[in-house]
Amino acid sequence: MNQIKLYFLTGFLGSGKTTLLRCLNFLETPTSGKILVNDKPVFDSETANRMSEAQIRENRLHSIDQAY
């Protein structure tokens, strides 16, 4: 039987859970900071304006794969 890993994001109402997920999918752009997945930078506010659409697409596709 295949094992499945489940991850939960919990917190109080208004604590930023949805915003974090939107930032991970590049639907919103954080104003500062970095997002790392398995120690690999997915977003860095210092270079955000220089990311191409292809880089954003690649990060979107691989952010889920890297979480496993």
Kindly report, residue by residue over 6-43, the tens digit of the pLDDT.
888 899 999 999 998 888 888 888 888 888 877 877 78
Kindly report, residue by residue over 37-61, the tens digit of the pLDDT.
778 777 888 876 677 888 777 777 7
Cβ of 24: how many Cβ atoms within 10 Å?
18
Beta bridge pairs of residue 37: 40
pLDDT at 20: 86
Report the 3 state secondary structure along the chain: CCCCCCCCCCCCCCCCHHHHHHHHCCCCCCCCCEEEECCEEEEECCCHHHCCHHHHHHHHHHHHHHCC
Is the full-model pTM beyond 0.75?
Answer: no
pLDDT at 68: 45
